[in-house]
Amino acid sequence: MKAMILAAGRGQRLGKITDSLPKPLVKVQGKALIEYHVESLAHCNIRDIVINTSYLGEQIQAYLGDGSRYGVSIQYSSEQERLETGGGIFQALPLLGDKPFLVLSADIFTDFDFASLPTSLDHLAHLVLVDNPDYYPQGDFYLTDGMVGNIGKKRLTYGNIGIYSPRLFSQCKPGKFPLASLLFSAISDHQVSGEYFQGRWLNIGTAEVLTKAQKY
């Protein structure tokens, strides 16, 4: 299975920290956020990695290189204008192939075991859901009998980790668009499975969360 790390964001909520440093290279406990992911993927024997870049993307490429020092192969999908999650994945599809692939955001800090994810899909996507963080109490979706939906008992947050079939993007066109619009449609068609993860997970979106992660 191939993996894509979403690393094109600006990280404005981190303030001056990202004025001259892309958020994926912000260090948590002495190591760049994106480096944790590359090492975790290598440990799970996922060695073909695509990274999309935009804001200060040249720094990410210079830092990680071709991935050989981590035992992986890294290809980059550069975006002159940030294409959002959906558009960024769509642009990278030629690098990801015709089989389901893993997508994760560079700005999460987690001990999730990527090797536990399904390597094949019966649906269009498989999402990892987590408890709602304090700053996002409303959550995103419900999980009922292994399927993601809009009705249920406990609303959860999408943990920015998922497996996607290229078929999810079959009707898309190049340009900027959110992944959420595709997911909502697929969920309405009962085409998204999921799982609930209760381990370490933080979305490093603010300086306060970054401070928390340094001691997490």
What single-letter amino acid sits at 172? C
The domain covering 2-213 belongs, at the CATH homologous superfamily level, to Spore Coat Polysaccharide Biosynthesis Protein SpsA; Chain A (3.90.550.10)
Q: Convert the pLDDT of each residue in 29-74 to its tens digit.
A: 999 999 999 999 999 999 999 999 999 999 999 999 999 999 999 9
Q: How far apart are CA 57 and CA 61, in angstroms?
A: 6
The residue assigned the tokens 């979403």 is 6
| pLDDT tens-digit map of 148-167 | 999 999 999 999 999 999 99
* pLDDT bracket for residue 95 (50, 70, 90): very high
Residues 49 and 2: beta-carbon distance below 8 Å: yes
Rounded Cα–Cα distance for residues 188 and 178 (Å) = 17
With bands split at pLDDT 50, 70 and 90, how would you rate the model's confidence at 11? confident
Question: Is this model's pTM higher than 0.85 or not?
Answer: yes
